[in-house]
Structure 1
């Protein structure tokens, strides 16, 4: 009697200690019956369970042999009439040549500190062969030689071109470093010639306009152009100097003094001479002096 009473008292404790078994098992199935080598096939895994269970589906680290994992898509848990549905679709592919290939993925249940693996029934898929099997393995098919050359598209050889470009840049850099003074002098002489030719053309245009119109504006423009050109040529600022200061700057040059005095008399005194020789002489003297200064600086450069 004492033993019977103990057994009756221990039955509820044993029932609580024994983990409850799942009420259903997960199911896995391929969405197609056949698959080719390397072709992607979808494997659907579903599990219906009580809402209170913690369920973990396999991820990319699971063992999918003989298939290769490509991707997956999880769906949100749906609960209806006291039952929850978990669903996931895996994208797989195979390169095995077995006629029938199977896959079984386990689902993990979390119960406190314990875990329970629920295996699915193996799902099968048939391999679709695109090449008929050889009936006679000992007699391979006869090979027909073909020695005809096929055209090959030319490709741009980047390494050699880059190496050649680096060599050209290195040689050019060496030449620039070695002859930089000579190159700088040549470039300066080129700019001097170009600026002098532009000055002569613009100066002649202003003189011609003054000769035709006898307008003081054209004469002032010619004098201003002459001052600006000498300022740029000699790298000074004589354009802001007065006539007396310009003459003193050029050591009382007779041509400069005479030409600027004649120009001032016409521009500021409005004293036109009936004889155009004086204004023409002023223009000629200024142009001659500019050419003389150019030859002096150009020869030094």
Structure 2
């Protein structure tokens, strides 16, 4: 009698020791749970479907993506939560946004969950979830065809700005402008520079003549100095040099001892600094004419260089 009692007692102890292990393993055997978050939906309306799965932490679980079969529903989007593990059990949960155009009064969905085990895969179907279709229009009686009402009047539509066409047109226009600039840009720049040269030269001649006339009428050295200063500044801007800050000797050397420049500036210096006026205006007129003629020659030289 004692010998039969001992094996029975050992079996009971073993069962008691296995209870925590079985209790921990039981959630992993629970199938994936699927449910709609609302009991009903309408045709074309977004309805949310929640799929969750509790499993052992070591399992590699894959939920359905947008390529899965959601019949009779259509996939719109999804949101998922990171895996949460508590007390040795992991929870994966994803919420799908679906819509249906099926007219069945009750529509069901059952999504599978895939488990990866090395090179093998295991597919577990979820629990079956149903949702009721809420009709906006009551169904017609049996054998009665609903009367259709024709409505062919056009409704006003707000005009939309066609961004792609406008952007494409702007791109083509920029390409055309770039091509024109590459083809004719150099010539246009030459024409503009020639226009500025002529305009500045005409303005110089007009101002120079005004100073010479004032000197002739007043015999004032101030007007003669203004004419010489205007001549120096014009050549400085024309040739991009610094002769307006040079002395007479340095200017003559800068222009390779040009005879017209040397004689004109010598006569001007004798009148301005030596206060030596001749009986007539021949020498001063000659100085003014030589400076104007030299400015014309330098303008023509620069114009030819730009027009090459």
Unaligned regions of 5+ residues in structure 1, if any? 1-19
1:37-56 aligned within 5 A: 37-49=43-55, 51=56, 54=59, 56=61
Kept in 2: contact 1:206–1:222 (CA 8 A):
no
Residue-pair matches, total: 267
Distance verdict in 2 for CA 1:206–1:126, change over 3 Å: farther
In the alignment, the residues of structure 2 paired with residue 206 and residue 32 of structure 1 have an alpha-carbon distance, to the nearest angstrom, of: 97
| Counterparts in 2 of 1:195 and 1:277: CA distance versus 1, 3 Å | farther
| Cα distance between partner residues in 1 of 2:278 and 2:289 | 17
Q: Which residue number in structure 2 is paired with residue 262 of structure 1?
A: 267
Q: Which residue of 2 aligns with 1:141?
A: 148
Counterpart-to-counterpart distance in 2, 1:109 and 1:169: 61
- Deviation of 1:150 after TM superposition, in Å, equals 5.9
Q: CA RMSD in A?
A: 5.3
Q: Secondary structure at the match of 1:71?
A: strand
Select the residue among 286, 293, 308 that pairs with 1:289: 293
Partner SS state of residue 288, structure 2: helix
Would the aligned equivalents of 1:259 and 1:281 in 2 still touch at CA under 8 Å?
Answer: no
Aligned to 2:222: 214
Alpha-carbon offset, residue 289 of structure 1: 1.9
* Shift in Å, 1:90: 2.2
Most deviating of 30-39 and 236-245: 236-245
Matched, 1:77 2:84: yes
Q: Residue 262 of structure 1 aligns to a residue in which SS?
A: helix
- 2:6 alignment counterpart: none
Give the whole-Å Cα distance in 1 for the aligned partners of 2:152 and 2:279: 100
Superposition deviation, residue 237 in structure 1: 10
Deviations 1:112-146 (A, max 9, x none): 76654332221001223334444576353232554
Give 2:276's match in structure 1, choosing from 243, 261, 273: 273
Distance 2:295 2:220 in 1: 25
Change (3 A) 1:75 1:43: farther
Contact conserved, 2:208 with 2:227, CA < 8 A, in 1? no
Work out whether 1:64 is the aligned partner of 2:70. yes
Structure 2 gaps of 5+ residues are 1-24
TM-superposed CA distance for 1:67, in Å, is 2.1
For residue 22 of structure 2, what is the aligned residue in structure 1? none
CA distance in 2 between counterparts of 1:37 and 1:118 reads: 29
CA contact (8 A) 1:226 1:290 kept: no
CA distance in 1, matches of 2:35, 2:104: 18
Tell me by how many angstroms 1:28 deviates: 1.1
**Distance across 2 between alignment mates of 1:215 and 1:289:** 19
> Does the CA-based 8 Å contact 2:42-2:134 persist in structure 1?
yes
Partners of 2:168 and 2:191 in 1: CA distance: 34
Aligned-partner Cα distance in 2 for 1:83–1:246: 96
Select 1:123's aligned residue among 125, 129, 133. Answer: 129
User: Counterparts of 1:97 and 1:276 in 2: how far apart (Å)?
Assistant: 120
Q: CA deviation at 1:33?
A: 1.1
Contact 1:247 1:257 in 2 (8 A): no
| TM-superposed deviation, 1:291 | 7.0
CA deviations over 1:43-79 (Å, ceiling 9, x no partner): 1122334x45625142304332222332231332231
